[in-house]
Amino acid sequence: MRYFDSNQNVIQWSSEEIAIPYRSPIDGKWHRYFPDFVITIKDKDNNIKVFIIEVKPENQTKPPKVRTKATKKYVTEVATWGINSSKWQAADEYCKDRKWSFQILTERHLGIK
């Protein structure tokens, strides 16, 4: 967040300010997804661009490996993947409707691992 505050190309940013509706594959009901960041920037050609950014551990950005035994951990991983996938699909559609971009960043993108 300090990066956003100190970068002269970041016009505006907010955290968890937008609610995006999505249907959960777990219960079939509508829920609200609050992405981590919304950032408005000025690019090198002085174009204004808006990004919705989600920060997640890399292991939550891929479907879990199929296992033969349905342990509690595996069931949780499958549910997490299903919910996250639904949220991200809704965010991607939300952004496309507005000509924005949706990105998922992991510890690898942030240089933490």
Domain membership of residue 64 (yes or no) is yes
* Residue 111 pLDDT level (bands cut at 50, 70, 90): confident
| pTM summary value | 0.87
Q: What's the domain count of the chain?
A: 1
Closest CA to 52 of 38, 69, 71: 38
Which helix (H) or strand (E) segment holds residue 38: the answer is strand 37-42
Position 67 pLDDT exceeds 90: no
Position 1 pLDDT exceeds 90: no
Domain membership of residue 110 (yes or no) is no
Q: What is the pLDDT, as a whole number, of residue 68? A: 86
Average pLDDT over residues 31-47: 96
Position 47 pLDDT exceeds 80: yes
Which helix (H) or strand (E) segment holds residue 93: the answer is helix 72-98
Domain membership of residue 112 (yes or no) is no
Pairwise CA distance, residues 47 & 13, whole Å = 16
Residue with tokens 């970068």: 7
Domain that holds residue 88: 2-105
